[in-house]
Structure 1
Amino acid sequence: MNNQYMRKDGRAYNSLRNMKMEVGVLNNADGSAYIECGHNKILVGVYGPRELHSKKHSKPDGAVLRCKYNMAPFSVKERKRPGPDRRSTEISKLISEAITPSIFLEKYPRASIDISIEVLEAEGGTRCLSIVGASLALADAEIPMKDMISACAVGKVDDHIVLDLSEEEDQTGQADMPVAIMPRTGEITFLQMDGHLSDVEFEKALQLAYDGCYFINKLQQQTLLTKYGGDTRGKYNL
């Protein structure tokens, strides 16, 4: 891997795109977050915990975490048909599974915690950013958590392992691997891979993903500490 490799958008192999995070942006939600990363714009609202009256769906030993991921029709260049589709349903399930290990669901039996994710503009990496935003919104809602979940994607572009793939890199690259972790323990809560990496490349990619997640976690903490103050815009080299 050439550490001097420069990508088409001017970033180094280990650079994140411009990033901004805010919490408390929705008055009618119990917790909320807004994230920009490159041209991605994602809004997250958390509702609950609140009593789940349906005995069929409630759990006596803990809360039910329900996640809905949706892409607005204007979020992509070619207008998307409104409403849920197979991809959004799959990503909703993946996000829920990635976040569940961090929440003390047992504190809220027969309750529900609902996460609503709206992608306003998409430019690659929305599932990882949705995980980051959902974790921030849960913290903003003061729901007890073991740790915030941080996530980012790594991949292989032009035979180089790179961090935070853009939409073009995601479409034309040789591999894409989104990863989510609990930074405090390093536990992986979500990992997928599309494409092929050798054993050596996989180890490099995983280490780069950890570095990216730890850095994003610092931004998450900073966002919560400053609430509405400060500015996290900028290109970040690890």
Structure 2
Amino acid sequence: MEYVTPEGLRIDGRRPKELRRLDCSLDVLQSADGSAVFQMGNTKVLAAVFGPHEVEVRNQMKEDKAIIKCEYAMAAFSTGERRKRGKSDRRSQELSLVIKAALEQTVMVELLPRTQIDVYVQVLQADGGTRVAAINAAVLALASAGVPLRDLAAGCAAGYLEGHSLLDLNFQEDSAGGPDCSIALHPNSDRLVLLQMDSRLPMDTFEAVLNLAQDGCRAVASFMRQRLLEHTRKLAMARGAVRA
């Protein structure tokens, strides 16, 4: 299969350095303190946040900061494969820890001592880039819950196929077996809070792929920030705090 045509187009019509279409919705669940749906192309993720609240297991309580619990799962209908993906799935457990680590560096946990924040992430539709989309959805849900953040953590992936650095891989590209780099970034400080690669690359090629992924994170962060501002303005208008 040809992943980049001589005209420089990918199999879904994008240019090598082009993101998929982004979309998101905030406060989609009334039962949660904060919630969001984030979409990158055909990948769609729902995140729900509960808390901060009292720590459920007392011996896990931290006197100087909040603890974050995270659970990642894929809905059984999220892919074309008819098989169960439960909480016991090893990959789900691994990604729960990956997302938790990124969130612990993003939430100002020191401002919320002796509390617990629960983050639930479910992939509703999977078409590549689920881990970075999950981080984006979780951060938006935390923001909608009013949890204090050091910065927006925005995630994006990039890969290398047929001599081309490609931004925001879809499932077909991700399954081609080329190197894939998934990152999450604090855009204001350019601080990486996640960096995962599933293969080796020469240093110059790795730097090109990493820089492309960072550019993608900045673009995603700009989109997320704009949507949060729009959402905040709508809430303020609904409460009469500002006029249209």
Give your verdict on TM over 0.5.
Answer: yes
- Structure 2 matches for 1:1-238, cutoff 5 A? 5-84=8-87, 85-227=89-231
Distance (Å, rounded) in 1 between the aligned partners of 2:201 and 2:14: 22
- Following superposition, the deviation at residue 173 of structure 1 comes to 3.9
Q: Runs of 4 or more off by more than 3 Å in structure 1?
A: none
Structure of greater Rg: 2
- Following superposition, the deviation at residue 24 of structure 1 comes to 1.1
> Identity of counterpart residues, as a percentage?
39
Gaps of 5+ in 2: 235-244
With a CA cutoff of 8 Å and minimum separation of 6, indicate the structure with the bigger relative contact order: 1
Distance (Å, rounded) in 2 between the aligned partners of 1:53 and 1:42: 26
Q: For residue 96 of structure 1, what is the amino acid of its counterpart?
A: K
* SS of aligned partner of 1:138: helix
Note the alpha carbon deviations across 1:153-199, whole angstroms, 9 max, x for none.
00001121110001011110411000111001000010011122211
Kept in 1, the 8 Å contact 2:156–2:217? The answer is yes
- 2:239 corresponds to: none
- 2:237 corresponds to: none
Distance (Å, rounded) in 1 between the aligned partners of 2:83 and 2:156: 24
Q: For residue 137 of structure 1, what is the amino acid of its counterpart?
A: A
* Cα-Cα RMSD: 1.9
Question: What is the TM-score with the length of structure 2 in the denominator?
Answer: 0.90
- Following superposition, the deviation at residue 54 of structure 1 comes to 1.9
Q: For residue 114 of structure 2, what is the amino acid of its counterpart?
A: R
